[in-house]
Amino acid sequence: MMQSSQSVNHKSLFLRACKCEPVERVPVWIMRQAGRYLPEYRAIRQKHNFLEVCKTPELAIEVSLQPRRILGVDAVIVFSDILIPVGAMGLPFELSDKGPQIEQPLRTTAQVGKLSVFDPERETGFLMDAIRGLVRELGPNVPVLGFAAAPWTLACYMIEGHGKDGFPAAKTMLYSDPELFRNLLERIAHATAIYLRAQIAAGASAVQLFDTWVGELTLEQYREFALPATQLLIEEIGAGDTPVILYTKASSHLLTAAAKSGANVLSVDWRVDLATVRKQVGPRIALQGNVDPCVLLGPEEQVRRAARAAVESTGGLGHILNLGHGILQQTPVENARAFVQAGQAAAVAGTAQVEGAR
């Protein structure tokens, strides 16, 4: 029988799933779960711009908690943005609903050399305060997740200045000055490791690295540039028992290499079959995902079927149910709730043995 939400230790459930340990059911959360599909979020955004919400702990706490209250998700990810460290490293930027704009994108050795490793409590203390506030608000039984961009993805924005198909400026630096590019990736890795250590110290139960644009690389390029920087970052976090989740998009050709990053969990998009990925990466790395966000725009029963099918593909072991990318703003709230509830109710292989051992 399904346990009531009040009786579930969501943090224990989440951490066991990250470690591929037996679970009563899969934990469920949604990338970009605090966002514009929620009327409550839109009400706050009518009064405050995006960066103001990120940099005001009380507002960040409130919007972070909304999906927990409204959908009943098992984990709360702190509301922030992957570009927050960019400003702290000395590269001013603007954020709007249209995306990021960096005033002076990186183009030269001199610019890269000026990037600083920052003190996260001093330069980004608002985020640490938000995490501490969420931990106080949620108590010991609900995990708070921190996050940052992986080095390749953050470098793409820092060089390009904004999102762009293919990130040609980033690729130009990679081809024309590979040593400079490696230097940039290593600088990002060092700064991000300190940033994520501070999030863990503030109370984050797990941290996620977003490598959204890594699918732009060939396997050879990934092994030569992105993977070493990600390995360096994860090694320098020194997270210990705190799981590190690595999200990659459009990366089916990279997953066996990504499994060597040091991450405890690989979060994958909807283009890959979870059962196939499990065979590729083995039983010791947990998987997160991977329902197509567009499924949540369709009929509710289809949403429920997709959630159940994702869990069935892994047997629920070593699996955190999520979407394959961020939830879309057109998503009906009732469909998001149906996704969470269906995943939480889905049968898990070995459930009887786990419950019988209690």
- Please tell me which residue in 16, 25, 37, 45 is annotated as part of the active site: 45
Q: Give strand pairing partners of 102.
A: 93
What does the angle CA 82 – CA 88 – CA 91 come to, to the nearest 5 degrees? 85
Report yes or no: 68 and 141 within 8 Å, Cβ to Cβ. Answer: no
Report yes or no: 151 and 185 within 8 Å, Cβ to Cβ. Answer: yes
- In 3-state terms, what secondary structure has residue 33? coil
Catalytic-residue membership of 81: yes
Strands in 192-317 per DSSP E: 206-211, 244-248, 265-267, 286-291
- Please tell me which residue in 16, 74, 132, 157 is annotated as part of the active site: 157
Question: How many helices, marked H, and strands, marked E, lie in the chain?
Answer: 18, 9
Catalytic-residue membership of 157: yes
- Please tell me which residue in 25, 32, 68, 187 is annotated as part of the active site: 32
Catalytic-residue membership of 45: yes
Report yes or no: 76 and 65 within 8 Å, Cβ to Cβ. Answer: yes
DSSP for 286-332, please give it: EEEEEE-GGGGGS-HHHHHHHHHHHHHHHTTTTEEEEESSPPPTT--
Q: Hey, what are 293's tokens?
A: 């966000």
* In the block, residue with structure tokens 């030269």: 108
Q: Which residues are catalytic?
A: 32, 36, 45, 81, 157
